[in-house]
């Protein structure tokens, strides 16, 4: 398991302790469904759609974009847990999947090891004493973790996914 960048560059590297933390996350119970929403720069981007937002642990994490120039990480999630109040333009077509992207700005201490096919992962988003966020997602053979100054929703959409695998 090798950090994406060395401890001396802008991402901040990682330590074996972070790997131990991530492995412990797989054994931890899932976070409250709406706890991640309180960390959003604009929680209304999700709360205007849902009475109770989807749990990140129950969403498929299918997209990861690491932008080293802007020190940001963008993650794409999808779920069949549909919005209670979908946007008007979404209602014009059938849909069974909701997709959203979270962009984490001023990301540092990035650590990635392995990456299996898109799937549900044990996800933890928490606040730190220094005001930054800690994000971690791990599953069998997959781990991504980092800290960030803030997180926002950059895109939401619905679509009709195939019923066949």
30-74 confidence digits (pLDDT tens): 455 568 999 999 999 999 999 999 999 999 998 999 999 999 999
Q: Is residue 90 part of a domain?
A: no
> Would 70 be classed as within a structural domain?
yes
pTM for the full predicted model: 0.80
112, part of any domain: yes
123 within a domain of the structure (yes/no): yes
117 assigned to some structural domain: yes
Question: Which residue segment(s) compose the domain that 113 sits in?
Answer: 16-82+98-159
Total domains, the chain: 1
Residue 66 to residue 70: CA distance in whole angstroms: 9
The string of DSSP codes covering 67-94 is ETTTTEEEEEEEESS--SS--HHHHTS-
Q: Does residue 141 lie in a domain region?
A: yes
């Amino acid at each position: 398991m090798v950090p994406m960048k060395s401890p001396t560059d802008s991402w901040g590297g990682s330590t074996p302790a972070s790997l131990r933390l991530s492995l412990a996350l797989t054994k931890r119970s899932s976070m409250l469904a709406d706890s991640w929403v309180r960390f959003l720069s604009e929680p209304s981007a999700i709360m205007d759609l849902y009475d109770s937002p989807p749990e990140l642990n129950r969403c498929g994490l299918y997209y990861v974009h690491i932008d080293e120039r802007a020190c940001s990480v963008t993650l794409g999630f999808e779920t069949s847990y549909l919005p209670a109040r979908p946007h008007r333009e979404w209602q014009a077509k059938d849909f069974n999947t909701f997709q959203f992207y979270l962009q984490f700005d001023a990301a540092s201490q990035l650590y990635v090891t392995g990456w299996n096919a898109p799937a549900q992962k044990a996800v933890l988003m928490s606040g730190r004493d220094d005001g930054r966020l800690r994000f971690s997602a791990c599953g069998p053979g997959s781990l991504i973790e980092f800290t960030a100054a803030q997180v926002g929703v950059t895109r939401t959409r619905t679509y009709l996914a195939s019923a066949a695998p």
